[in-house]
C-alpha cells in the first residue's frame, strides 16, 4: 500500500482493544498509515499506563498523530478517576457561571494533556429539544442557542488553554433527533429556518472564535440534503459549513461503525464519498479486519481520484501540525 493515495491513510482514526497497542495498529502507525487513535475506557487503567501508551503511539509514527478521547462529562466520559469526573453539560449549564465552566474545561485539558491526549471530542454544541426522549438529552448545555453558546465556548476555551484541541459536535445539530445513529440512520424534518435560527448559531459562534475542528452528525437533514447524511453531504459540509459559515478547520466523522453508516454504505462507497469531499478525518472503531478493509478502500479511492482530495489533504496536514504535545 505504498505510493500515490497513501496520504489519505493519515485521515483515519482507529480504536484498539486492551491497554497496549495491538500488532495491527503498531504496524499501521510505523508505516504512516493511520492518523491517530481514539481511546475508550477499555484502553485506560491508570495515569502512568495511559501516559506510557500515548508516548508509544507518538514514538511509532513518523508524523504527528492524533490521540483522542470523548471526555464530555456526565454519561460520556471515558476516564472516571477521582478529580477527573465532570457533571453533565446540562448540569454545568444550570449551576455554573461561564468562568467556572472555563475553569473546569482548563482543568480537564491539563489533565488530558498530562497523559498525552491532544484532542477531545467535546463540547456538544447541539441545542437540546427539551425532550428526554431525544438522543442528546443532558449532553447539551441548554435548550436555546444562547444557553449553549454561553457555556460551550468557555468550556472550549478552557480545553484549549489546558493544552487540548476541542472538537465541537455534531454539525449541523443533533439536538432534536429521537433516533440513535448507533442503531439506524436518523432523518430530521426540521425546516431550514429552524436550523438557521436555533441549531446553527452555536456552530457559527464556535467557528468565529477560531476553533479548528468540528464533528459531523450521521443524520439526514431533509431540508438541506434529502439524499445523504451530513457526514457525506457536500451541500452541508461545503456549501453550508465552509462557504456560508466560513469554516477553515477540519471535520471529523462520528464513528463510521455506527449502523447509520455501516448498514447503508459499503467501505468502497464510504471511501469514494470521503475522497470527493466528505469529512477530513474518519473515525472507525470496528474490528481490525474491517479497519484494514476501510484503509485499503480509502487509499484506492485516493489513487483513482488523485486531484479530488488535495484540499482535504492540505487541511489535514495543517491540523496535524497544530497538535499540542504534552
What amino acid positions are annotated as catalytic residues?
182, 254
First to last CA, the chain: 32
Amino acid at each position: 500500500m505504498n505510493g500515490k493515495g497513501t496520504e489519505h491513510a493519515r485521515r483515519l482514526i482507529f480504536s484498539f482493544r486492551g491497554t497496549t497497542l495491538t500488532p495491527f495498529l503498531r504496524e499501521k502507525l510505523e508505516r504512516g498509515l493511520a492518523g491517530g487513535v481514539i481511546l475508550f475506557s477499555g484502553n485506560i487503567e491508570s495515569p502512568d499506563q495511559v501516559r506510557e501508551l500515548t508516548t508509544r503511539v507518538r514514538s511509532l509514527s513518523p508524523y504527528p498523530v492524533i490521540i483522542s478521547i470523548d471526555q464530555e462529562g456526565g454519561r460520556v466520559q471515558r476516564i472516571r478517576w477521582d478529580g477527573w469526573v465532570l457533571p453533565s453539560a446540562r448540569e454545568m449549564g444550570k449551576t455554573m457561571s461561564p468562568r467556572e465552566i472555563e475553569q473546569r474545561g482548563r482543568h480537564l485539558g491539563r489533565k488530558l494533556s498530562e497523559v498525552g491526549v491532544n484532542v477531545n471530542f467535546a463540547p456538544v454544541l447541539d441545542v437540546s429539544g427539551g425532550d428526554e426522549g431525544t438522543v442528546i438529552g443532558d449532553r447539551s448545555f441548554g435548550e436555546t442557542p444562547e444557553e449553549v453558546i454561553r457555556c460551550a465556548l468557555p468550556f472550549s476555551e478552557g480545553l484549549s488553554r489546558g493544552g487540548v484541541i476541542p472538537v465541537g459536535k455534531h454539525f449541523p445539530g443533533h439536538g432534536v433527533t429521537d433516533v440513535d445513529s448507533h442503531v439506524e440512520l436518523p432523518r430530521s424534518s426540521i425546516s431550514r429556518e429552524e436550523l438557521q435560527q436555533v441549531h446553527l448559531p452555536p456552530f457559527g459562534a464556535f467557528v468565529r472564535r477560531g476553533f479548528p475542528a468540528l464533528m459531523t452528525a450521521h443524520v439526514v437533514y431533509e431540508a438541506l440534503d434529502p439524499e445523504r447524511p451530513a457526514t457525506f453531504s457536500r451541500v452541508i459540509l461545503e456549501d453550508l459549513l465552509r462557504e456560508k459559515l466560513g469554516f477553515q478547520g477540519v471535520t471529523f466523522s462520528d464513528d463510521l461503525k455506527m449502523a447509520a453508516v455501516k448498514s447503508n454504505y459499503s467501505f468502497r462507497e464510504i471511501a469514494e464519498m470521503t475522497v470527493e469531499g466528505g469529512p477530513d478525518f474518519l473515525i472507525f472503531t470496528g474490528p481490525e479486519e474491517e479497519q484494514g478493509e476501510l484503509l485499503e478502500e480509502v487509499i484506492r479511492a485516493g489513487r483513482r481520484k488523485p486531484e479530488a482530495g488535495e484540499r482535504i489533504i492540505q487541511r489535514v496536514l495543517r491540523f496535524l501540525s497544530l497538535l499540542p504535545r504534552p
